[in-house]
Structure 1
Amino acid sequence: MRRRDALSGLMVALLPSIGHGQPFAPEALPEPPPAPVIPAGPGPQSWDSVFRLAARLRRLGQDGLDVAAYAIPPDSLGSSEPATFHAAVYHAANAALGDLVLGRLRQPTGRGDILRDPAGADFPRWQGELVGAAEPAGLIDRAANLPEGAPALRAELAKAGGVVAAGGWQPIPPGGTLEPGMEDAARIPALRARLKAEDPVLAAARDGGATYDAALEAAVRRWQAASGLEVDGKVGPISQGFLNRPASARLGQIRAALDMRRNPMRPGDERRIEVNIPDYVLVVQEGERVLLKMNVIVGKPARATPTMRARLTTIQFNPTWGVPERNAREDLLPRFRRDPAGMAAKGFRLYSVVGGERVEVNPASVDWSSIRQDRFPYLIRQDAGDGNALGRIKFIMPNSDDIYLHDTPDRSLFGRPDRAFSSGCIRLAQPNELLNIAFEGMGWDAGRIQRAYDSRQTQSVGLRRSLPVRLHYTTAVVEGGRVRLRPDIYGLDAAYVREMDRGGVRMASSGGAAR
C-alpha cells in the first residue's frame, strides 16, 4: 500500500481520537471539543507532511522545550507500522502545541507575577488547525513565534546552545579588577577566551595575548552593554561573577524567558506600575505608553523581593518605620552595641512589652553586650524625619508580605548597575514623580504636597484611583530586536527551568502534565 493511500485511510480512524487527547492537567485546560470529522478519500495532509511534522518536533529544542518530553517516534516506524507512527506523531504534536501556545508551565510555583490566559489562547482552535492543516509543521512554527520577542530570543537561544554544545567556557581565575592596559598572563587570556565564545568581532581580531588591549576593551564594553551592566570596560567582581556563570545557565535563562512569555494575561489599558526586579527598574504605563521610568533598589538575595500583584491604595507622608524583627536582630543590634546614643539621635526608639503594654526603654540603660541576636527582646521604631529609612514618603499596596515602595535618604546607590541592597521593599529614585502620577486629579498641587512634608506629621492619604502594581522577575529584556540578559539574582530562572524539565513525557492519552 502506498504511503499517501495509507494516510488517507488512517486519518478517518485515527484523527478524531487524537483530537480528544488530553495532554494537560485537567484543571489547566478546558476539555477540547470533538475533533472535526475527516472525510474518506485523500486528506488535507500528504504522508510526507507527517514526516516533516515529526522532523519539526525533533527541533523543539530551538523553542526552549525538551524534545525528550514528547515521545516522538522514529521515522523507521512509518514504514513498519504506519498507523502507530501516524498516531504517535499527532499525539506528540498535540502535546507540544499545547506547551507552545499555553506554556510548558501552566502556573509556575511561587510566581505571583505570571498569569496565563487559557480562554484567550483558544487552544481548541489550534487543535482543530493541527488536524486540518495541509502542512502541520508550519502550524508548530507559528505557535513557536507567538511569544513577544520570540525571534530574538530563539536566535539568542541558538547561539547559547551552540556555546554549550562546544563545551562552554572556562571561568576567569579570581583576582582584582582587570582594566585596559593591564597585563596578566593567566587572567587576561582567560577573559579573552571567554568573550570570544560569544563575540565574533573579538574572535576575528588579532590576539593581544596577556595585554588588555583596545580590542578586548571594546569586547568587554559590548558585553557589559548587552548585559545591562555599567559600561566602563573594567572587569570587577560584578562583571567577573556574571562572566563566570556556566554557559548552561545562560541557556536556561533564555529557555525560561521564552516559556514565561507564552500566553500571558494582557494588562489592558489601565494605568499600572510594573517593577522588573532583576532589571532594577520601575515603569508606569498606560496601555503601551510609558509615563515614568526610574531606577529602583530591590531586596538583596538573602531578603528577596517577592513577585506579586497588588494595588497601590495609600500614600503616607513622613512615615515612621516599624523595624521588622529580622532587620532589628541582624542590622540594628550591632549598631546599638556600638553607639546606642547615636541610634537614639537618629530617631530609633526601643520598646519592651510589660504586662501586655508597650513601654519605651532608654537605649543607654541596656547592657547591649548581653543581648543575643537569636533572642532579641525589643521592638524598634524609627521616628519620621529626614533620616528615616523610608525617607519622607511611603507608597502602600496591601499584601501578605508587607512589601511597599518608598523614598530613601541614601541616594548614592541608584547609580550602581547592581541594585539589590534592600531588605525586600523597593526604594525609589524618583518618589515625587510617582507621587504626582498617583495624585493626578485629586487636587494636590505642589504647594499642598510641600506643606504635607513640612508638617513633619505622619499623614496617610487614600488614592481616589488605586493603581495595579506588578512586581515581576524578567531577566531577559528584548529591546530593538536584541536580547539583554540580567543576572538571575534570586535563582528564579534556574528554578523555573528545573520545574519545566520535571514534567516528564507529555502523553496525549493521559491527564499527566507538568505544572
Structure 2
Amino acid sequence: MVVAQAAPSPALLRLADRLRRLEEDGLDPRAYAIPADAEAERDPAAWQASLLRASIAVLTDLLHGRVHDLPNRPDLRRDTAALPLSPWLTQLQASPDPATLIDRAALLAPEAAALKRALAAARARVAAGGFPPVPPTPGTDALEPGATDPLRVPALRARLAMTDPLLAANPGAGDTYDEPLVAAARRFQAGEGLEADGRIGRLSFAALNRPAEAAVRQLRVALDMRRAAAPPPAERHIEVNIPFQWFTLSEGNRTLLEMAVIVGKPARATPMLLVRLNAVQFNPQWGVPERNAREDLLPRFRRDPRAMMEKGFRVYSYVDGQRVEVDPTTINWAAINPQRFPYVIRQDAGDINALGRIKFIMPNTEDIYMHDTPDRHLFRRPDRAFSSGCIRLEKPMELLDVVLQGAPGWDRARADRVLASRVTTGLALPRSIPVRLHYATARVEGGQVRLRPDIYGLDEAYARALDAGRSRVANASPVNAGLR
C-alpha cells in the first residue's frame, strides 16, 4: 500500500518564497539551491530537507556575512563568535513561521533597514531603465547657472527630476539653466559630497552619469560588510573612511575629533590598515620615495631646478658608497631616465615641507603615516583623493593636543616651542592609539543613505566575491531534525 505524504505547510511555502526574495537583502538566491515548490508535491520529505539546508546557509550568511576573506582588506573585521548560530538554528527548526526568523536576521545588522530601503529604491531604478544620460560639458568648461544650452539643460532637468521631489513637482522647461534647476543641482551636489555651487563640471557630470547599477552593487556590499561586524575598540581609537575622506577620533560612544582628510589618488591608493599611532615627529624632513621622485618631482626639476632648491629640496648621489649632495642646477634633468632614477631626494623641514610641521607615525610595512600639509586650501575641495597614499590632516594641531595627553612634560606650549625651533624632534607616545584605515562607500545619516564613488574599485571586488558561484548549501551544518 502506498502511503500518501503530507503536503508542505503554508508556513514552509512562505519560507521558500522568502528565500527566493533574498535579492532584497543583497544576496543572490541562486547561490542557495532553494528547491522549487513543484518538487514538494513529488517528494515532500526531500523538498523539506533541501529547504532546511538552504535556510541554514541563508541564516549563516545573513548573520555572519557571506564574504570573509579578501586580499589586502584587514579593515573587514567580523566577530562571528559574538553571534553564535546555534540559537538561531534551534529557532529555525522550532518556529511555526520560519520566514519571520529570516526577516529578523536580515534586519539584525546595524543600519540594515535604511540600507535595504535604499537598495530597493536602487533596484527599482535599474528595473525602470536607469537614469537618462547628461552629456558632459566639452573641454573643461562647466555648465554655469543662467547659461542657455539646448542639449545639456533639458537632459539635466530630466535627470534631476527623477531623484529630486521638489523639481519633479515643478520641473519647468526650456533650455536655460534657471534658478529652480540650479537649486536642484545644488541639492544633488550636497548629497553627493560635492561643492554645492550649482556649477556642473567634471565631478558633477560624473556623479550624474554614474550607472544606477553601481548603487545596487555598493548597497549590497554595504549590507554584507555590516553583518557580524566587529565593534570598534572601547579605548580611544581613530577611524579614517577612505571613500568619504573623513577622520574620526572616538572614545567609547564619544566623538572627540572629526576632520576632512586627503587620501591617496586611485593610481596610488591608500592601503587599508589596522595599525597603532605611537609617535609624533615635529618639523619632519621628507625622504622622497623613489616613485614620487621620478613621477612627481622629476618633471618639476626639469622645469626649474632652482625653484626646487628654494622649496628645500636636496639631491644626493652615491659615490664610492658615500652619499654626496649634488647641486640640482648642474644636472641635465632632461637626460634622466625615470625608470632608472639615480638620485635620492630629501626636503628640508619647514613651513613649505610637503609633510607640514607634524608627522604622526603608525608603523607599517607600507610606510603610510598621517601628516600636516602646507596646502590648506585643498581641504575645501570636495574630492580629496590626490595624495601619494599617506593621509593629510585638516586639523593636525587638534590631533596633537589629543595625543599629547598623558605625555609627561608635554603640552601645546612646549609643542609650539619645538615647532618654532625648526629642529626635527621625535616623541614616543606613552599610550598608542589604534588606527583603522577602512573602505566604506555607504554611510547612513539621519536614516538616509549617502554613497560615495568606489574610487579604488574595492566595492567591485567585494561584489564579485559576494557573487562567487560556489553554493553555501554544501557548507551548511548537518541537521537531524526537520522544519515544522
- For structure 1, the residue ranges without an aligned partner over 5 or more in a row are 8-46
1:76-475 map, 5 Å: 76-175=38-137, 176-442=141-407, 443-475=409-441
- Deviation per CA, 1:415-452: give whole Å up to 9, x if none: 11111111000111110000010011223122211111
Distance 2:164 2:31 in 1: 32
Cα deviation for residue 146 of structure 1 reads: 1.6
1:491 aligns with 2:453: no
C-alpha change, 1:327 and 1:261, in structure 2 (3 Å) is same
Distance 1:180 1:456 in 2: 47
Verify the 8 A CA contact 1:163 1:197 in the aligned structure 2. no
Verify the 8 A CA contact 1:226 1:483 in the aligned structure 2. no
- Deviation per CA, 1:327-352: give whole Å up to 9, x if none: 00011111111211221121111111
- Deviation per CA, 1:181-221: give whole Å up to 9, x if none: 32222112222222233334433324423232333223222
- Mean Cα displacement is larger for which, 285-294 or 183-192? 183-192
Verify the 8 A CA contact 2:22 2:28 in the aligned structure 1. yes
Question: Counterpart of 1:71?
Answer: 33
Question: Counterpart of 1:42?
Answer: none
- Mean Cα displacement is larger for which, 355-364 or 148-157? 355-364
Task: Output the amino acid matched with 2:405.
Answer: E
Verify the 8 A CA contact 1:300 1:422 in the aligned structure 2. yes
Instruction: Name the count of aligned residue pairs.
Output: 471
Question: Counterpart of 2:466?
Answer: 500
Verify the 8 A CA contact 2:442 2:452 in the aligned structure 1. yes
Task: Output the amino acid matched with 2:443.
Answer: V
Identity within the alignment, %: 57
Task: Output the amino acid matched with 1:155.
Answer: R
- Mean Cα displacement is larger for which, 390-399 or 259-268? 259-268
Distance 2:476 2:248 in 1: 43
C-alpha change, 1:68 and 1:202, in structure 2 (3 Å) is farther
- Mean Cα displacement is larger for which, 203-212 or 391-400? 203-212
TM-score, length-normalised on structure 2? 0.94
C-alpha change, 1:485 and 1:364, in structure 2 (3 Å) is same
Provide the secondary structure at the position in 1 that maps to 2:229: coil
Verify the 8 A CA contact 1:94 1:508 in the aligned structure 2. no
Distance 1:97 1:224 in 2: 38
Cα deviation for residue 387 of structure 1 reads: 1.2
C-alpha change, 1:82 and 1:228, in structure 2 (3 Å) is same
Provide the secondary structure at the position in 2 that maps to 1:402: coil
- Deviation per CA, 1:352-381: give whole Å up to 9, x if none: 122222121111221112111111100101
- Mean Cα displacement is larger for which, 296-305 or 71-80? 71-80
Distance 1:121 1:357 in 2: 59
Task: Output the amino acid matched with 1:48.
Answer: P
Task: Output the amino acid matched with 2:201.
Answer: G
- Mean Cα displacement is larger for which, 354-363 or 447-456? 354-363
Task: Output the amino acid matched with 1:492.
Answer: L
Distance 1:477 1:209 in 2: 36
Distance 2:91 2:161 in 1: 44
- Mean Cα displacement is larger for which, 268-277 or 316-325? 268-277
Task: Output the amino acid matched with 2:403.
Answer: A
TM-score, length-normalised on structure 1? 0.88
Provide the secondary structure at the position in 1 that maps to 2:473: coil
Given candidates 447, 450, 461, the residue that maps to 1:481 is: 447
- For structure 2, the residue ranges without an aligned partner over 5 or more in a row are 478-484
- Deviation per CA, 1:202-241: give whole Å up to 9, x if none: 3332442323233322322222222222222222111111
Verify the 8 A CA contact 2:161 2:171 in the aligned structure 1. no
- Deviation per CA, 1:464-489: give whole Å up to 9, x if none: 00000000111111011011111111
Distance 1:212 1:421 in 2: 31
Distance 2:171 2:266 in 1: 40
Verify the 8 A CA contact 2:371 2:396 in the aligned structure 1. yes
- Mean Cα displacement is larger for which, 159-168 or 77-86? 77-86
Distance 2:183 2:380 in 1: 22
Cα deviation for residue 6 of structure 1 reads: 5.8
Task: Output the amino acid matched with 2:10.
Answer: D
- Mean Cα displacement is larger for which, 80-89 or 209-218? 209-218
Task: Output the amino acid matched with 2:362.
Answer: M
C-alpha change, 1:392 and 1:290, in structure 2 (3 Å) is same
C-alpha change, 1:200 and 1:447, in structure 2 (3 Å) is closer
Task: Output the amino acid matched with 1:423.
Answer: S
- Deviation per CA, 1:471-514: give whole Å up to 9, x if none: 01111110110111111111111111112112432224679xxx
- Mean Cα displacement is larger for which, 347-356 or 170-179? 170-179
Verify the 8 A CA contact 1:107 1:116 in the aligned structure 2. no
Distance 2:174 2:43 in 1: 59
Verify the 8 A CA contact 1:107 1:115 in the aligned structure 2. no
Given candidates 8, 18, 21, the residue that maps to 1:56 is: 18
